[in-house]
Amino acid sequence: MTPRSPRRRLAGVALFALAAVTACGGAEQQTARPAEQGVTITMWTRAATQAQSERLVAAYNKSHKNQVKLTVIPTDNYQPRIAAAAGARQLPDVFAADVIFVPNYTSQGLFLDVTDRVAALPFKDSLAPSHMKLGTRDGRFYTLPHTLDLSVWFWNKDLYEKAGLDPEKGPTTLKEFAEQATTVDEKLGKDGKVHGTFFGGNCGGCYVFTFWPSVWAAGGQVMNPEGTASFNDRAPMTDVFKVYRDLYAKGVTGPTAKEEQGPTWTGFFPKGEIGVMPMPSTTLGSMPKDMKIGVAPIAGPDGGESTFVGGDSIGISATSEHADAAWEFLAWTVSDEAQVEVMAKNKDVLARTDLAGNKYSSEDPRVVLINSLVAKGQTPYAPRFGETFNDPQGPWLRLAREAVFGDAGKLPQRNAEIDKSLQQ
């Protein structure tokens, strides 16, 4: 029971939404003009990419007359906050969003059309292709790449050495991944502290981020190009599910993999408890300094390589009154200066493919590898992505858990539920 009625809270939100919404034209094209000076624009970002956003904003504020006021919102609450703010016409001037939610946001008219502004950028053809694709609707551009977060395999070289594996040789196929994880678990996991691998087994977003690259690496697809039909009940997806199902059944994964809802799924590897597992590339810079980590592209069951090109895109909100000042900031974030001196310097993946070989990234071959995957990886497109694949109550999580922990025979039925959700 709850003394604070959620119904009243919802009614309050509804009030804001209704009181504030008036007839509006949504996102309209605005042509570029010289930015006003001395303006403070507001920006929202989610906690998952907080570090990168904070660095960019700090560098921009230091070198520009216009200022950006950044608000960081917990990742799990970000989408609801955007929805509530949009309903109340209280969106910030610019906001970043998980790139996979961008098609839904553009279809709702939340972003300003920036086609002409993007066309004027001299490096427009080098902007991360997956992010640009998802920010395009009916041939018009609405967003720029903001941060890139790729899924890759991390392996712990110390644990590999102790388990008798070659510490310099990571997995090149999903089957090798399973074999190496099993070896680590068998050799070092007897006291229950070290495990072969780990994954977020009760987290829809974790599954797509870590499992789907194996499907792409095997030459398969997870959806049709329109994002309205799911292919997750057939090979190679089912082959990938089987590998992880066997790993869980044999106890090679951490015991709580089945219950992991997402908030702590990346927390075990830095503790030195996991042999090899899929991880977000953005965590490489925050790993313990004395930890020897190898990085490999995610492979399919028999080879190939791919990655989920995740991260955030950023756009000007359709309700912003400072579109020119907002664009000045956005254009700066993808400039040579910001990309090299802010992003590359901190081992982040670049939003531009033409700067992959910069002076900072070339110091660490792992960063070079990650940057090279931007062009090989994919970002799945579906207008109904969030509610289908990320939402804990969405149909994808049920399918994935059925495939890994439950009755794999139910996959066609669960896949039909995904189709229904994608087509709503």
Partner 1 sequence: MSITLDRPPRGTAHQSAPSPPPWWRGRKAQGWAYAAPTALIVGVLFVVPLILVVWMSLHRWPLLGPATFNAPDNYTKIADNPLFLDAVVFTLKYTVIITVLLSAVALGLALLVQERRPGVGFFRTAFFLPGAVGFAAAALLFYGMLNNEFGPIDPLLQSLGITDEPVKWIGTPDAALFSTIALVLWRFAGFNMLILLTGLQAIPVEVYEAARSDGANRWQIFTKITMPLLRPTIALMLILSVTGSLLAFDQFFIFTNGGPDNSTVSMVMVVYREAFFRFDLGGAAAISVVLLVALVALNVLQMRVLRRSR
The residue (of 165 and 247) whose beta carbon lies closer to partner 1 is: 247
**Min dist. Cβ of residue 394 to partner 1 (A):** 8
Contact 334, 141 (CB under 8 A): no
Place of tokens 């000042």: 325
The CA distance from 13 to 285, in Å, is 39
Nearer to partner 1, 183 or 390 (CB): 390
Q: The tokens of 5 are what?
A: 């009625």
- Residues 334, 118 contacting (CB under 8 angstroms): no
Q: Which is nearer to partner 1, 48 or 374 (CB)?
A: 48
Shortest Å distance, C-beta 372 to partner 1: 34
Smallest gap, in angstroms, from Cβ of residue 270 to partner 1? 13
Output the six-digit token pair for 118: 């993007």
Min CB(24)–partner 1 separation in Å? 6
Instruction: Find the shortest distance in angstroms from Cβ 164 to partner 1.
Output: 27
- Smallest gap, in angstroms, from Cβ of residue 103 to partner 1? 12
In this structure, the strands spanning 309-316 and 144-156 are antiparallel
Nearest residue (CB) to partner 1, 196 versus 220: 196
Contact between 137 and 114 (Cβ < 8 Å)? no
Q: Which is nearer to partner 1, 6 or 122 (CB)?
A: 6
For residues 277 and 351, which CB has a smaller minimum distance to partner 1 in the complex?
277
CA 235 to chain centre: 24
We find the least distance from the C-beta atom of residue 13 to partner 1, in angstroms, to be 7
Q: Angle of helix 204-217 relative to helix 395-405, nearest 10 degrees? A: 70
Of 249 and 375, nearer to partner 1 (C-beta) is: 249
Q: How far is the CB of 212 from partner 1 (least distance, A)?
A: 20
User: Token pair of 277, please?
Assistant: 């597992």
Q: How far is the CB of 97 from partner 1 (least distance, A)?
A: 13
- Least distance (Å) between residue 91 CB and partner 1: 9
The residues binding partner 1 (CB under 8 A) are 1-8, 10-15, 17-19, 21, 23-26, 79-80, 83-84, 86-87, 89, 104, 108-110, 202, 254-256, 258-259, 261, 264, 267-268, 318-319, 386-387, 391-394, 397-398, 401, 424
Nearer to partner 1, 19 or 119 (CB): 19
Q: Which is nearer to partner 1, 17 or 291 (CB)?
A: 17
